[in-house]
């Protein structure tokens, strides 16, 4: 019994001794806590222009054990890409206050200030967001033709100010006969597919969207796995429906361009044929599509074409490698047959009635012209109606057809005169504007841009032959009137000093 008591007492002493000894194993002290205040980080919006603006922030900083901030703290200002180059980090300064001449690629960034206390190794941080653009980030791309027939590309840059930049393409050759200028406006993790496309009568070319520079991939012909069908490589129309699906019309052939890990951006064989035949059919030089579904999962990937051999409408959908014929149903055959038997003239797109398109066709036997309206839906094409064009419309002499988005009026030009045509109500065309002696060279209905796509704006481009730099861009809103077509000038959008404008496209990013 005595031995048991001694053993218990010894164990108790050892336990108490262990607790007592543990008390000296730790050094408890307060941390020098650094707090970065809200100044410069909250309640301010940073929209900056690379190469132009300076970013200055003098943060309010406190340290719990160093009120005067006399310690040798380590400061680091870091930007992290969020959209175009997500996760890419760049240190822009290592000073307490930030005084930075902005020199970054266009992107939305997280801006972080990180402060490290060398005494403890602890780091404290605070962040805000900045948006950086370059002189070429956002604005109107303008493809024009000079008096010698050469292509001139200008840009109306729009950020905090409007800046007109002349002859921006960095190319050694001035290609003849400009046809189209285009770029996609989807946000990419890589800029490999996000180039600016310029189509001319001498070929189509791709330029860096940040600098308009050239490289080994500038010539569009190099993107075709099978170039045997190419002649000039002149693209008459091009569209991107969602983040991966593109359709191009090149030298009279239709190509699907898929951005994926399998197809890394090369054009395969043309798709303007049917599955049961390897014979290609002639197609119209414009395609119909519907932008009302938006981008991503909601996008509408039906693209309408016109088979000018069989004189009928046909279409493509995502992942199609051949055409499908639009088919009549018992319920819609009374509207019109998809096989019209008529000759193709042109196609226009709008956002009217959630994305209606129209194709103008010609009955050469009796000399009449018709407007066929329809919509590209997720399930395929859907008929609208057929309208005979009033005999007073000189279709053979008219140019620059455009359908307004909110009222569905048809606009067209003859020389320097702009006409409006309410064909749905069988009204006569009316003269809207006369720019003579200047000629109307382009009527652009803005259905693509984020800010204006659902509104009713048109851009009218004019040029007076023999007068260099007389090209002009004016913006008009289509007035909401029930009984007449009326255009109202936007006094803030009247740009001058261009050559003969052939194509406009808005570059979002």
Mapped to the 3 state alphabet, what secondary structure does 179-244 carry? EEEEECCCCCCCCCCCCEEEEECCEEEEECCCCCCCCCCCEHHHHECCHHHCCCCCEEEEEECCCC
Lowest mean pLDDT among 97-101, 155-159, 277-281, 356-360: 155-159
* pLDDT value of position 263: 52
pLDDT given for residue 25 in this prediction: 52
Q: How confident is the model at residue 29 (pLDDT cuts 50, 70, 90)?
A: low
How high is the pLDDT of residue 20?
A: 45
439-449 per-position pLDDT tens digit: 999 999 877 77
Looking at residues 361-372, what average pLDDT do you find? 96
Q: What is the pLDDT of residues 46-92, one digit of tens each?
A: 989 888 899 999 999 999 999 888 889 999 999 999 987 889 999 99
Beta-carbon-side half-sphere exposure of residue 228 (alpha carbons within 13 Å): 4
The better pLDDT of the pair 155, 1 is held by: 155
Contact between residue 292 and residue 351 where contact means Cβ atoms under 8 Å apart: yes
Quick one: how many helices (H) and strands (E) in the chain? 1, 34
Task: Determine the pLDDT at residue 225.
Answer: 85
Report the alpha-carbon distance of residue 343 to residue 365 in Å, rounded: 10
Q: What is the mean pLDDT of the chain?
A: 88
Within 10 Å of residue 46's Cβ, how many Cβ atoms? 16
Q: Is domain 34-133 given the CATH code 3.40.50.2300 in the classification?
A: no
| Res. 23: pLDDT tops 60 | no
Confidence of residue 129 (pLDDT cuts 50, 70, 90): very high
Report which of residues 189 and 125 the model is more confident about: 125
Residue 190 has pLDDT above 80, yes or no: no
Residue 395's pLDDT is what? 95
Q: Which span out of 29-33, 231-235, 453-457 was modeled with the highest average pLDDT?
A: 231-235
Q: Where residue 233 falls among pLDDT bands split at 50, 70, 90?
A: very high
Tokens describing residue 311 = 């004189």
pLDDT band at 119; cut points 50, 70, 90 = confident
Band (pLDDT 50/70/90 cuts) for residue 453 is low
Q: Which residues contact 503 (CB under 8 A, 6 or more apart)?
A: 141, 142, 143, 178, 179, 180, 181, 182, 442
- d(CA 315, CA 145) in angstroms, rounded, equals 33
Q: Examine the pLDDT at 134 and tell me if it is beyond 90.
A: no
- Provide mean pLDDT across the span 445-464: 82
Could you tell me the pLDDT band of residue 191, with boundaries at 50, 70 and 90? low
3-state SS, residue 173 = coil
User: Which uninterrupted H or E stretch holds 7?
Assistant: helix 2-22
Q: What is the pLDDT of residue 18?
A: 47
Cα distance between the two ends of the chain: 90
Decide: 75 and 124 in contact? Cβ < 8 Å: no
The pLDDT > 70 percentage for the chain reads 89
Q: Is the pLDDT of residue 141 over 60?
A: yes
Task: Give the residue among 160, 55, 156, 71 at the shortest CA–CA distance from 111.
Answer: 55
86 or 4: which leads in pLDDT: 86
Lowest mean pLDDT among 3-17, 111-125, 278-292, 314-328: 3-17
Amino acid 3: pLDDT:
44
Q: What is the pLDDT of residue 1?
A: 44
Q: Among residues of the chain, what percentage have pLDDT more than 90? A: 63
Phi, psi of 2 (to 5 degrees): -65, -40
The model's confidence at residue 452, banded by pLDDT at 50, 70 and 90, is low
Could you give the 3-state DSSP secondary structure of residue 2? helix
Query: For 397-465, where are the E strands, in sequence order?
Result: 399-403, 410-414, 417-421, 430-434, 439-445, 457-463
- For residue 298, what pLDDT is reported? 66
Name the band, by pLDDT with cuts 50, 70 and 90, for residue 406. confident
Collapsing DSSP to helix, strand or coil, 508 comes out as coil
Pairwise CA distance, residues 109 & 130, whole Å: 5
Task: Please give the pLDDT value at position 341.
Answer: 97
pLDDT at 243 over 50: yes
User: In the chain, which residues fall in CATH 2.60.40.3880?
Assistant: 34-133
364 pLDDT above the threshold of 80: yes
Average pLDDT over residues 326-335: 92
DSSP SS3 for 31: coil
């Amino acid at each position: 019994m005595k031995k048991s008591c001694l053993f218990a007492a010894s164990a108790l002493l050892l336990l108490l001794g262990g607790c007592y000894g543990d008390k000296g194993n730790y050094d408890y002290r307060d941390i020098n806590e650094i707090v970065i205040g809200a100044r410069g980080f909250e309640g301010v919006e940073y929209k900056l222009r690379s190469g132009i603006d300076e970013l200055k922030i003098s943060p309010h900083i406190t340290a719990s054990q160093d009120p005067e901030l006399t310690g040798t703290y380590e400061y680091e200002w870091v930007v992290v890409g969020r959209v175009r180059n997500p996760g890419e980090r760049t240190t822009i300064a290592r000073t307490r206050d930030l005084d930075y001449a902005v020199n970054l690629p266009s992107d939305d960034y997280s801006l972080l200030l990180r402060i490290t206390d060398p005494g403890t190794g602890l780091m404290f941080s605070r962040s805000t967001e900045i948006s950086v653009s370059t002189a070429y980030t956002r604005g109107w791309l303008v493809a024009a033709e000079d008096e010698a027939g050469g292509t001139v590309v200008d840009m109306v840059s729009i950020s905090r100010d409007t800046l007109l930049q002349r002859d921006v393409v960095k190319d050694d050759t001035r290609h003849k006969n400009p046809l189209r200028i285009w770029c996609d406006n989807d946000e990419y993790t890589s800029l490999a597919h996000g180039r600016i496309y310029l189509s001319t009568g001498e070929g189509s070319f791709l330029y860096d969207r940040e600098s308009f520079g050239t490289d080994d991939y500038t010539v569009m012909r190099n993107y075709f796995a099978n170039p045997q069908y190419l002649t000039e490589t002149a693209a008459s129309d091009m569209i991107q429906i969602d983040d991966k699906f593109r359709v191009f019309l090149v030298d009279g052939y239709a190509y699907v361009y898929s951005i994926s890990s399998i197809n890394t951006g090369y054009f395969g064989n043309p798709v303007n044929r049917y599955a049961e035949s390897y014979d290609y059919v002639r197609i119209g030089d414009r395609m119909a599509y519907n932008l009302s579904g938006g981008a991503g999962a909601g996008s509408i990937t039906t693209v309408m074409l016109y088979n000018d051999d069989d004189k009928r409408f046909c279409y493509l959908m995502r992942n199609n490698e051949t055409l499908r014929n639009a088919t009549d149903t018992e319920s819609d055959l009374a509207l019109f047959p998809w096989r019209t038997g008529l000759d193709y003239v042109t196609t226009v797109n709008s956002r009217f009635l959630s994305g209606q398109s129209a194709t103008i066709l010609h009955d050469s036997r009796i000399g009449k012209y018709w407007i066929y309206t329809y919509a590209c839906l997720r399930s395929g094409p859907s008929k609208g109606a057929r309208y005979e064009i009033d005999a007073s419309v000189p279709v053979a002499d008219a140019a620059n057809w455009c359908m307004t988005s909110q009222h569905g009026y048809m606009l067209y030009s003859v020389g320097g005169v702009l006409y409006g045509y309410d064909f749905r109500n069988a009204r006569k065309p009316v003269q809207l504007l006369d720019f003579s002696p200047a000629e109307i060279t382009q009527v652009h209905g803005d259905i693509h841009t984020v800010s204006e796509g659902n509104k009713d704006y048109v851009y009218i481009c004019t040029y007076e032959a023999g007068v260099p730099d007389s090209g002009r861009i004016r913006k008009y809103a289509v007035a909401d009137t029930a009984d007449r077509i009326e255009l109202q000038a936007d006094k803030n959008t009247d740009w001058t000093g261009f050559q003969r404008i052939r194509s406009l496209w808005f570059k979002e990013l």
